[in-house]
Amino acid sequence: MLISNAIVCDVNGERKADVKIENGVIVAIGSNLTDEYIVDAKGAYLLPSLIDTNVRVLDASLHAKNIKALAKEAKKGGVGHIILNADSNPAIDNEVVLEFAQNGIKDISDVKVDFMLNSLKEDMSLSNIAILLKKGVAAPYMSTIAKNDVAIKIAEYAKMYGVTLFCKAEDNSLIHAGVMLEGDVSSRLGIAGIPELSEVLHVSRMIEIARHFKIKILFKSIASPRSVALINKAKSEGVQVSCEVSLHHLVHSDEACEEFNTTAKLNPPLASKEDKLLLQEALKNGEIDILTVLHQPNSPLNKEVAFFDAAYGCEALGDALALYYTKLVKSGMISMSELVKLTVQNPAKSIRKEAGIIEVGQKADVILFNVNEKKVLKNAQSLYDGEEIFGKVCSL
């Protein structure tokens, strides 16, 4: 197959070129190439398919039907590799559940699905991390609700196996008291809030654990610019920590929760308007390492209820690339090449993979993306419902 007249874009920049693919591998990149089967890109982008390391199945209910539906959404959105969050029901914290989950992906061929392991069982004891890592999970995941002695044991496992620890920074005694950011909006709505300190305290704690044990930690879905600053200071000191932020926290603030909009009830909660702008500056300054669409789909039964009772999350995976392009690239916040770094190369590194470069000899895990296509998004479970978005993932 020959893809002609494409704008080839990877972490090294953009160039106009033809790309020839044989047996799933790129065999030539250049001008005026020939082949029996030609796909005319007509100036569309040829990009590495995206990787998202923080997605959930519908209602966090883990079974084959939901995993297959998730993979279908991922393909629509230009995401070729997803890492399923370990915080599911049942949780991926033992061999039986992992085998059950792995059996559920056997028929999925067009999207790669990997799993995190939940390092903590429901009773806050350790899961069998060693066995689950050996059986093929992508990374261990922990919430900082873990006590220090347990967190240290998890860190020791991460060091022993050379894996990145995926870490959700939150304080158990604070998150259960509220359902959105503590601030002016929560006060106005009369809703119990979660203080920003809930995250910041535990980012500081886990940075010191990463420093002591010399392990890699990826902080998942960071919402506070103060946390971003702490992570970047630690990086400058040689600590192997990195920062993931969701698209939603860059685009929306807690003001989206006005009128008790349950679609804006996210975990972590949306930040204040001022902090949203600081997160955008951090993105522009290269202080954010990984982006996620933080796909947390829920049935209407769990969202169309009172704000306090509503489940956390919104949908975005099926429109991932178009949303990234519209909100971050077309708006001038980052370049397309920088987007590839944040959504392909860096997520791949977090699970010890290499991706983000389109060159001869590489596996052709690529997508065509036509930025001239546009549509009005219609999805009541999306924070972007009713908005015009640009770009369409095209079939190859």
Q: In the chain, where are the structural domains located?
A: 49-355
Beta-bridge mates of residue 165: 217
pLDDT for res 287: 98
pLDDT for res 395: 80
Q: Round to the nearest angstrom and report the end-to-end CA distance of the chain.
A: 9
Task: Please count the other Cβ atoms lying within 10 Å of the Cβ belonging to residue 299.
Answer: 12
Beta-sheet strands, E only, within 70-184: 79-84, 112-118, 139-143, 165-168, 180-181
For residue 313, give Cα distances in angstroms to 296, 303, 334. 4, 9, 25
pLDDT for res 391: 98
Peptide bond into 48 cis (omega under 30): no
Q: Find tokens 């559920």 and name the residue.
A: 104
pLDDT for res 82: 98
d(CA 396, CA 44): 12
Going by C-alpha positions, the residue among 321, 365, 356 that lies closest to residue 337 is 356
d(CA 228, CA 244): 9
d(CA 342, CA 339): 5
* Helix ranges restricted to H, 285-345: 300-303, 320-324, 336-340
Q: Beta 13-22 vs 2-10: how paired, if at all?
A: antiparallel
Longest dimension (CA), the chain: 65
Q: Tell me phi and psi for residue 97, to 5 degrees.
A: -65, -40
SS3 assignment, position 56: coil
pLDDT in 10s for each residue of the chain, 396 residues:
999 999 999 999 999 999 999 999 999 999 989 999 999 999 999 999 999 999 999 999 999 999 999 999 999 999 999 999 998 999 999 999 999 999 999 999 999 999 999 999 989 999 999 999 999 999 999 999 999 999 999 999 999 999 999 999 999 877 777 899 999 999 999 999 999 999 999 999 999 999 999 999 999 999 999 999 999 999 999 999 999 999 999 999 999 999 999 999 999 999 999 999 999 999 999 999 999 999 999 999 999 999 999 999 999 999 999 999 999 999 999 999 999 999 999 999 999 999 999 999 999 999 999 999 999 999 999 999 999 999 999 988
d(CA 250, CA 248): 5
According to CATH, the topology of domain 49-355 is TIM Barrel (3.20.20)
Contact 285, 245 (CB under 8 A): no
